[in-house]
Chain A
Amino acid sequence: MGKKLRIDSVLRPEVLVIGAGGAGLRCAAEICERRPGTAVVAVTKVYSPQKSHTSTAQGGMAAVDPNDPVDKIIYHMFDTWKGSDCSSDQNIIKKVCESAWEQILWLERHGMHFSRTEEGRIAKRPFGGHMLDFGEVKAFRACYEADRTGKGIMDTVWAESLKHGVSFLNQSVATELLFRNGRCIGAVVFMEQSGKFAAVLAKATVMATGGKTRMYQVSSNCRQNTGDGLALMFQAGLPVMDLEAVQFHPTGIVGPGILASEALRGEGAILRNKDDEPFMERYAPTAKDLAPRDLVSRCIMTEIREGRGCIHPDHKLPHVWLDLRHIPEHVHKTRIQEVCGFFCKFVGVQPQHELCPVTPTAHYQMGGAPTNEFGEVQKDDRQIVPGLYACGEFAAASLHGHNRLGTNSLLELITMGKVVGERVAAYLHDAQDPGDVPQDGGQRVFAQFSRYLESEGKEHYAEIRDALRVLMTEKVGVFRNEKGLTDAIEELKELKERAAHMKLASKSLVMNQEPLQFWELNHLLDVSMVIAYCALARKESRGAHYREDYPERSPKFQYHTLAYMTEYGNVTLANRPIDMSIFEARGEHYERFGIIERKY
Chain B
Amino acid sequence: MVRKIKKLYGLQMDISVQRTGVEAFFIGILERSEWLSYYARSRGWGFIMTWAHRIAGLVLALYMLFHIYTLSALYEPAAFASKMKFVDNFIFSFFEWALAVPVIFHALNGARLILYEVFRIRNDAIMIRWVFVLSAIYIMTLALVMLMGNQEVSPGFFWLIVAIASVISATIVYKRLRHTQNGTLWKLQRVSGALLLPLVSGHMFFMHLNYRVGHDVDTILARISAPGIKALDVAFVSLVFFHAGFGLYTIIGDYVEDSRIRKGLTVLISFVLGVFAYAGAKIVLSI
Contact = CB atoms under 8 A, between A and B. Distances in A.
A and B: direct contact (Cβ < 8 Å)?
yes
B11 A333 contact: no
Which of B5, B9, B11, B13 has the most A CB atoms < 10 Å from its CB? B9
A352 B11 contact: no
Contact of B11 (A329, A332, A337, A344): A344
B222 interface: no
A345 B8 contact: no
Interface magnitude class on chain B: under 10
Contacts of A341: 9-11
A345 B13 CA distance: 9
Interface string A449-461: 0000000000000
B2 to A, nearest CB: 12
A35 to B, nearest CB: 38
Contacts of B11: 341, 344-345
Nearest to B8: A333
Contacts of B8: 329, 332-333, 337, 352
A340 interface: yes
Contacts of A360: none
A337 to B, nearest CB: 7
A438 to B, nearest CB: 45
Contacts of B9: 332, 337, 340-341, 343-344, 350-352
Interface in B5-20: 5, 8-11, 13
A587 to B, nearest CB: 48
B10 to A, nearest CB: 8
Which of A341, A350, A352 has the most B CB atoms < 10 Å from its CB? A341
Interface string B97-133: 0000000000000000000000000000000000000
Contact of B5 (A337, A340, A345, A350): A337
Contacts of A340: 9
A33 B181 CA distance: 35
A337 B11 CA distance: 12
A332 B9 CA distance: 9
Contacts of B5: 333, 337
B113 to A, nearest CB: 31
A352 B11 CA distance: 14
A332 B13 CA distance: 20
A327 to B, nearest CB: 12
A332 B5 CA distance: 12
Nearest to A342: B9
Interface in B238-267: none
Nearest to B4: A333
B43 to A, nearest CB: 21
Nearest to A352: B8
Contacts of B13: 345
A360 B31 CA distance: 46
A563 B13 CA distance: 47
Contacts of A345: 11, 13
Contacts of A343: 9
Nearest to A351: B9
A516 to B, nearest CB: 30
A350 B9 CA distance: 8
Interface string A163-177: 000000000000000
Which of A345, A350, A352 has the most B CB atoms < 10 Å from its CB? A345
21 contacts: A329-B8, A332-B8, A332-B9, A333-B5, A333-B8, A337-B5, A337-B8, A337-B9, A340-B9, A341-B9, A341-B10, A341-B11, A343-B9, A344-B9, A344-B11, A345-B11, A345-B13, A350-B9, A351-B9, A352-B8, A352-B9
Interface of B: 5, 8-11, 13
A-B residue pairs, 9 tightest by C-beta: A344-B9, A341-B9, A344-B11, A340-B9, A333-B8, A333-B5, A345-B11, A332-B8, A337-B9
Given A333-B8, A337-B8, A343-B9, 18 more contacts: A329-B8, A332-B8, A332-B9, A333-B5, A337-B5, A337-B9, A340-B9, A341-B9, A341-B10, A341-B11, A344-B9, A344-B11, A345-B11, A345-B13, A350-B9, A351-B9, A352-B8, A352-B9
